[in-house]
Structure 1
């Protein structure tokens, strides 16, 4: 299915909006694309490695630090970029964004230094600590009546293997790090973003590997919510500095990535209205004093039809281009909030579009429900978007997008050769 961009050409460049991005994945390019479509911005991307998603692009400039660059070197590079931009005649203060939990945490740690040069749409330290922690997230949801899976927490803070209590979650269960920023610091054989644990023996083994790797944070055990990838929902929001939700939209996931390091990232989804889930998302954001971008992971429980909230990412999310493509450009709320300092009516995407980084012949294999498959095919015929497929880019980018899309077939056949009842 072809990618039909929302505008025949990007917006005329403006000197009023500038953007600096830390990272280099699909989500970073999607942010650069949103700013380019809306404001004609040529973004600056600071990254350890200039990989395919941000390589050979005409809408951004890259600062490559090298794969071994430390967090301190990242901050120094950002400060250098900020100082250089500030020294130019007529300079404007850039917006600084990251799109990985550990990088958001890094920016927050250095908010005072970075704030001298950049607009920082970040949560306060206490709110960031609480909402980025899956264990605390579950407790907060329960307290305000937002449905969430039953959860048990294991604490590795003391450096010894925690005792595993008797569990009433059923088998298999799901296990994941409470904070991905802490999990990112350890490495061990078989490391995955999310684990499906079949029995107590597997859980004990995982606890041993985490302890040996030096993990010093909490790990969350949750009941397995039945249903394949098509039961997942994604909600994206922005909360301005006054506490008003000025961006809110969602999508039904059709297929998630299944490589160990990217498990759970949506690979295909279509935009849809989710009024009850939106209301619950706003309740959470307002209750916690949230600020900036948020991305919720939610799953419909087929046993009772209730949408269960899994987590909120304190960033816009890797799959954020579905919002821009559907008519709610994700650049506008942060610019209105921090650059223009004006109130913005809530932007909600109104177009029904298919967002996909996989070819249709692969996607249709994983949509088991024939009615859903027919609906998605019709949506895709009207409008299919790939975040990296942007008409203003040159032939090198186009070749990369073709190759990356084709490579998805190999990855899915290796890691998820056929759809399963629980998405694992």
Structure 2
């Protein structure tokens, strides 16, 4: 099992660092781990259900709300945690972070009241609304010559099924919600994070299901960029309150998750330098007036070798631990920005590491390029990390990580039994 030894805590900054997290997935634990590694912080996690990624951990405390908790319940729980000065005798103001689009949107909708208790590394409302919308994101990229896939937008705002326009995207094509925060509010049979649409009949069927489910936002149709999971890139950044990009790094994806609800989330990747993609990412962040954490999804188009930007997530992303493991601890830029209020020289990953939540034999099976497989094998021997495999944790956590990796084998055999040329 990949593991890393506990690291000595760095000297605390001038103000003690405190962290509150909303949610309970792998990415939330990875954030808690980064703060613990750097500052010794024991985070508070507010979540509907204390599931495996955050259960039985020594580096965080949990506040469980129950699966029936409403968004208002979550806000009230955060306000209660923020007002609890007894747990912070020094009067420290915690940083509040979330790692799901709808939770980021929830915090933003209540930024005034939450901002009285927490540091909020958030985008301005108008910027958040623009960049979190995949259709608007594509338009913004076009304005500054950042390549994106060809895109057509369907609008469901009227409550009636939109007409299928003339399409010149080719078949199959990719369909996905323009804003995941709006998509999260509806449910229907066969719901997926991303759809591969083979023909116009499948497209009309999806439109009908979305309309019947009460979906009232936009849906984007994009050309299918060829290439399997290994053509994908991930870029992670932080922009401080002065507009400086103080964290920037990236990785080549090796394997993505393929369950319907998690399709596209990286399951394995290795850090690598991406100069042109980094320059384009910074250009977009500066053009949009971005602030806080960002995570870009990018794919290399084998037809022309051009990196096409799919979207930017207005959060750090669930795979964020690859940055910390490679030497760019993701906690440092937000602490420097909001707590220490100091300029920070841009942090970039310095080490080439393999990030993986799946066993090596399974990962190896999906890397079909022999040269790439050999390269990953070499990287693996130098450094392999699993975000949940933290040496300070106890036996229950170690058992959970082993069980989770075994479950990944089952999931891939069910949902993606063999590698494909397009990743679906």
What is the TM-score when the length of structure 2 is the normalising length?
Answer: 0.98
Summarize deviations over 1:252-302 as a string: whole Å, max 9, x none: 000000000000000000000000000000000000000000000000000
Shift of 1:16: 0.7
C-alpha distance in structure 2 between counterparts of 1:88 and 1:420, whole Å: 52
What's 2:388 paired with? 388
Residue of structure 2 equivalent to 1:290: 290
C-alpha distance in 2, partners of 1:191/1:11? 45
Q: Does 1:154 align with 2:126?
A: no
Which residue of 2 is the match for residue 260 of structure 1? 260
The structure-2 alpha-carbon separation of the partners of 1:228 and 1:8, relative to structure 1 and needing over 3 Å to count, comes to same
- For structure 2, the 5+ residue unaligned runs are none
Equivalent residue number for residue 217 of structure 2: 217
SS in 2 for 1:407: helix
In 2, Cα distance between equivalents of 1:175 and 1:395:
42
The alpha-carbon distance between structure 1 residues 51 and 25, as it changes in their structure 2 partners (threshold 3 A), is: same
| Aligned counterpart, 2:33 | 33
Distance 2:367 2:160 in 1: 43
Please say if residues 11 and 36 of structure 1, whose CA atoms lie closer than 8 Å, have aligned partners that are also in contact.
Answer: no
Once the two structures are superposed, what CA deviation does each residue of 1:300-350 show, in whole Å capped at 9, x if it has no partner?
A: 000000000000000000000000000000000000000000000000001
Q: Separation in 2 of the partners of 1:185 and 1:357?
A: 28
Structure 2 distance, partners of 1:165, 1:310, is: 21
SS at match of 2:351: coil
Q: Which sits farther off after the overlay, 84-93 or 378-387? A: 84-93
Report the equivalent of 1:411: 411
Question: Is contact 1:86–1:93 with CA below 8 Å preserved after alignment?
Answer: no
Distance in 2 (alpha carbons) for counterparts of 1:261 and 1:172: 20
Distance 2:225 2:378 in 1: 29
**Deviation at residue 2 of structure 1 after TM alignment:** 3.4
- Report SS of the residue matched to 2:166: coil
Quote the Cα distance in structure 2 between the aligned partners of 1:85 and 1:318.
Answer: 30
- Matching residue of 2:372: 372
Aligned twin of 1:170: 170
Counterpart in the other structure of 1:185: 185
Superposition misfits of 4+ residues, deviation over 6 angstroms: 12-15
Contact 2:2 2:389 in 1 (8 A): no
Residues 179-222 of structure 1, C-alpha deviation per residue, up to 9 Å, x if partnerless?
A: 00000000000000000000000000000000000000000000
Q: Matched residues in 1 for 2:409 and 2:28: separation?
A: 23
SS at match of 2:406: helix
CA distance in 1, matches of 2:166, 2:412: 36
Is 1:299 aligned to residue 306 of structure 2?
no
Aligned residue in 1 for 2:335: 335
Q: Normalization by structure 1: what TM-score?
A: 0.98
**Residues of 2 paired with 1:422 and 1:311: CA distance?**
18
Aligned partner of residue 32 in structure 1, secondary structure: helix
Match of 2:45 in 1: 45
Alignment deviations for residues 74-108 of structure 1 (CA, whole Å, 9 cap, x no partner): 00000000000378432200000000000000000
Q: Tell me the equivalent position of 2:228.
A: 228
Unaligned 5+ segments in structure 1 are none
Residue of structure 2 equivalent to 1:134: 134
RMSD between superposed Cα atoms in Å = 1.1
Measured in 2, the distance between the counterparts of 1:79 and 1:306 equals 46
Q: What do the CA deviations read for 1:389-414 (whole angstroms, capped 9, x no partner)?
A: 00000000000001001111000000
In the alignment, the residues of structure 2 paired with residue 179 and residue 250 of structure 1 have an alpha-carbon distance, to the nearest angstrom, of 24
Aligned 8 A contact 2:23 2:99 in 1 = yes
Deviations 1:129-169 (A, max 9, x none): 00000000000101110000000000000000000111000
Mapped partners of 2:11, 2:44: distance in 1: 18
1:69 aligns with 2:89: no
CA distance in 1 between counterparts of 2:108 and 2:151 reads 28
Superposition deviation, residue 224 in structure 1: 0.1
